Chain A
Amino acid sequence: MSEILKAREKQIYRKDEHDFDLACEKQSLAGSVSQRACVFCGSRVVLYPIADALHLIHGPIGCAAFTWDIRGALSSGPELHRLSFSTDLREKDVVFGGETKLYDSLVELIDLHKPNAAFVYATCIVGLIGDDVDAVCKRVSQEKGIPVLPVHSEGFAGTKKDGYKAACEAMMRLTGTGPTEGISPHSVNILGDFNLAGEIWIIREYLQKMGVEVVANVTGDGRVADIQRAHGAALNLVQCSGSTIHLAKMMEEKYGTPFMRVSYAGIDDMASALYGIADFFGDEEMTRKTKELVKAELDAVFPEVRKYRKKLQGKRAALYVGGAFKAISLVKALKLLGMQVALAGTQTGNAEDYALLKDICDPGTIIVDDSNPLELCGFLKEKDVDLFIGGVKERPIAYKLGIGFCDHNHERKEALAGFVGMLNFASEVYATVMSPVFKYKYRDCKNERNRESA
């Protein structure tokens, strides 16, 4: 296929057509129009939903402007995270250094907004101009009496995944600093859900019904004080493994907190997550409640899902999302709707993720790492799909090709997690795949053909 650059061939796999040895976790190829962002982006998306913290972006204006209120990250209380704070560095700061401006900005904003912590994101040029961000943070922290945490997220210093890691390291510094008295032995932290459209509230409700206490949300609808006492939880639930697995591993090492990888997308994965939690605690009462919960939810959801399935049976879908865990759940969810998955790709999957993904995909399915618009366009055309699932940057590709689209990232407004999320998902897929507007898409071609034959 001509859309594929030679240097990228190893990052594309067609199931059962050749041996599986997918290259991944590589730096994006220059000039290939990767759909990925940068280190800063990784840190920003992970920490962003902590709603009572000040998120100050130290650098020129772009990084802050582009991430202002960029996605749902709903909060049940404070909404400080929805403001976009920047030191807005100028030429003279680049020449003389930005430390004073950083200090003054932090003091000014902390006095004004009274946050419970501050995160300071170092962007590309901060390291180059030699600002000692750590020292400024330390000083302000002492003066203001709140944690002020540097996040080393210089955009060029790795990939988005390194940004996740930097975010985890900043959060790790918060853990272990709050009181843990009174935390139930049946307690968890929810890692890797960002509450874009209220997902974490759905999960918390399930856990509450099971009798499980949630100590900290990491980070959807997150609070500083909760993360400070996160080490008191008995278990870490890790979704979206790329973004927060590093925190889970650090907490395991330092506090002995075990972690469990879960996914809340789709009926199967949601149910097995809840059963897994009940098994972990080994509490009979909890197991009984979990069974009740799952049964009640399935009874409510299944008949509806079946209706959609009737209509969607046999339709073809493609997906290209950020993390591989999400991709795996989506493949299962699409199968539940009777749909065929023709393409499954991710920006940041690792070898282990891709092996799992390969196992659940049908022969011929394309699995791709760190793709780009031209490749994706080629795959979509080749597989002649009815639906494409992705984020904002994938949407116009689908629409230009006249293919239905479902946003599984920043801009969605309906929760796709949990049992109810499966229904929301089915309803959105149905709305786009069955829309009558697509029948007009070939009109121009017909006209052109008519002209040719005339």
Chain B
Amino acid sequence: MSAIESLHSQTEDNAMVVDITKMATTKEKRKKAVSTTNACKLCEPLGASLVFRGVEQSMPIVHGSQGCATYIRRYIISHFNEPVDIASSNFSEAETVFGGAPSLVTALDNVIAKYSPKFIGVSSTCLTETIGDDMSAIVREYKKDRKDMLLPEIVTASTPSYAGTHIEGYHAAVKAIVEQMASGGPKLDKVNVFPGIVSAADLRHLKEIFAGFGLDYTLLPDYSETLDGSSKCEYENIPSGGTTIEAIREMGRAQGSVLFGLTQKSSQTGAGELKKRYDIPVHKLPLPIGIEQTDRLMRVLEQISGQPAPKFMEEERGRLVDAYIDGHKYIFGKRAAVYGEEDFVVSMAAFLTEIGVRPVICASGGESGRFAETIKKLLPEESEDIQVAEGVDFYEIGNMAKETGVDLVIGNSKGYRTARELGVPLVRVGFPIHDRIGGQRILSVGYRGTQNLFDTITNTIIARKQDSSPVGYTYM
């Protein structure tokens, strides 16, 4: 077990702001509002739908009201600018009394008839969980009634929005896929990769890195192509790409799993499930943003593959260090507010401290209970100035930023309003990016992604100074 893995205490300190070094001893706990204003999180079935879109020839179905599927589609489309077909079981009023089996069965029939998918991922909603629909039983019956038909794989994930955020939904879907599809057997020379919510460009780069070590990997999910496809002659009803069904089945026979993200309990992840069932070792790593975090990944991959890091990684690391030095003076001591999914914020905060930027606010709508602890473990000792806030909304983040003062805001598009109110620039990274094109192509993992972030952050600060200069100088 790595040091990183061992840092997960089981404390469930929900919905409070923690000064990570003084842990609320000298700093009074904030009074948490009852209501939520401008949430810094999304709902569980959205996370699950994202995962299901990353499987080969797949169609997601959201078992609930028509609105859930439509809103989720719209939200994901606005980030990826790609067709995102997600079916709904279109639950009706009568079914709240008699159960939603008939509508789910019709939905399965129609999706199979029109899309001929190889895989269907069904996620539940608040509604169907509250009335107690047993989706796995419905699907079991469905399969039994159609014994003679060649059916797609049908995976069900329980994802009620009241029980967590899109991150919990994401992991529930990944876990459901391996739980319901992977099987054991003789070991294969393969490694499983669980990337967490990253961009399509990030997924492509991760694949490049694993391939660079000569590893045969299975990336789950892989929406690098399904949600960032090229212009093609023919419209694809289901976009090509995605983790193959065959590869998923073999995930129970891999040598090991690499799981990115430290804040989820292992038992709630796909990697944890494979460990439990088939004793596949888990390498739990922070998202590889920044030199330190990417170095960690390099060490693990060297160990797994028995090969040194590929030359391009060494070269990119060298250029990144060179760039850090070239740009260090422009950003040193700047104060940033970082928000988004907990694992994203953890790695971003570690990266920022690495370049001399202070992540004075680390905030998330998530409530894993491990956020503050994880940041504490990854950051250097002297971090008294950093406030970690979990289970917060943008209203709270804005108030914290006003109080403490920040030079820039880093995260997804939903922080634009906050940044605008603060009069500081927003560096867009994460999900969703709704007010720029190309959110799916923002690279932030690996040395190359870190380079991209470093250049963007440094240039944002340089531009701000240049634009507000009365002289309008033309050299830095």
- A, B from the same assembly: yes
Where the two chains meet, the residues of A that have a C-beta atom closer than 8 Å to any C-beta of B are: 3, 5, 27-41, 56, 59-69, 82-91, 93-94, 101, 104-105, 108-109, 123-125, 127-129, 155-159, 373-374, 377, 381, 392-393, 395-397, 399-402, 411, 440-445, 448
The interface residues of chain A lying within 8 Å CB-to-CB of B93 are: 156-158
The interface residues of chain B lying within 8 Å CB-to-CB of A445 are: 233
Which of B45, B68, B106 is in CB contact (< 8 Å) with A31?
Answer: B106
**B38, B67, B69, B72: residue with the most chain A Cβ atoms closer than 10 Å:** B67
In the complex, which residue of chain A has the Cβ closest to the Cβ of B33?
A: A108
Which of A31, A64, A159 is in CB contact (< 8 Å) with B109?
Answer: A31
A84 touches B38 (CB 8 A): yes
Which of A60, A127, A402 is in CB contact (< 8 Å) with B43?
Answer: A60
In the complex, which residue of chain A has the Cβ closest to the Cβ of B42?
A: A65
B74 touches A66 (CB 8 A): yes
Q: Is B342 an interface residue (CB 8 A)?
A: no
Which of A5, A37, A411, A443 is in CB contact (< 8 Å) with B67?
Answer: A37
A62 touches B45 (CB 8 A): yes
With A62-B42, A63-B71, A65-B43 given, name 19 new contacts (CB 8 A).
A28-B66, A30-B87, A30-B90, A32-B110, A33-B85, A33-B87, A62-B45, A62-B68, A65-B41, A65-B42, A68-B38, A88-B36, A94-B126, A94-B130, A124-B125, A374-B85, A396-B82, A400-B231, A400-B232
Listed by A's residue number, 25 A-B pairs whose Cβ atoms lie within 8 Å are: A29-B106, A30-B104, A31-B89, A31-B106, A32-B110, A38-B67, A61-B36, A66-B72, A83-B395, A84-B38, A89-B126, A91-B163, A105-B34, A108-B33, A108-B34, A125-B130, A129-B130, A155-B65, A374-B115, A377-B237, A396-B83, A400-B82, A400-B231, A400-B232, A445-B233
A94 touches B162 (CB 8 A): yes
Which of A34, A39, A85, A381 is in CB contact (< 8 Å) with B36?
Answer: A85
Work out how many contacts link A and B, with CB atoms closer than 8 A.
227
Q: Is B150 an interface residue (CB 8 A)?
A: no
**Nearest CB of B to A37, in Å:** 4
**B42, B89, B110, B131: residue with the most chain A Cβ atoms closer than 10 Å:** B110
The interface residues of chain B lying within 8 Å CB-to-CB of A40 are: 65, 67
B130 touches A377 (CB 8 A): no
CA gap between A108 and B34 in the complex, in Å: 8
Which of B45, B46, B232 is in CB contact (< 8 Å) with A444?
Answer: B232
Where the two chains meet, the residues of B that have a C-beta atom closer than 8 Å to any C-beta of A are: 33-39, 41-46, 61, 64-75, 77-78, 81-93, 95-96, 103-104, 106-111, 113-115, 125-127, 130-131, 160-163, 165, 229-233, 235, 237, 395, 414, 417
CA gap between A59 and B160 in the complex, in Å: 12
**Nearest CB of B to A446, in Å:** 9
CA gap between A262 and B64 in the complex, in Å: 36
CA gap between A65 and B365 in the complex, in Å: 12
**Nearest CB of A to B281, in Å:** 33
Which of B110, B127, B165, B230 is in CB contact (< 8 Å) with A124?
Answer: B127
Which of B38, B65, B83, B230 is in CB contact (< 8 Å) with A83?
Answer: B38
Which of A38, A88, A89 is in CB contact (< 8 Å) with B39?
Answer: A88
Which of B75, B126, B417 is in CB contact (< 8 Å) with A60?
Answer: B126
CA gap between A27 and B38 in the complex, in Å: 32
User: A156-B93, A392-B74, A392-B77 are contacts. A34–B88 as well, Cβ < 8 Å?
Assistant: yes
The interface residues of chain A lying within 8 Å CB-to-CB of B64 are: 124, 155-156
A41 touches B71 (CB 8 A): yes
The interface residues of chain B lying within 8 Å CB-to-CB of A155 are: 64-68, 127
The interface residues of chain B lying within 8 Å CB-to-CB of A86 are: 35-37, 39
The interface residues of chain B lying within 8 Å CB-to-CB of A128 are: 96, 127, 130-131
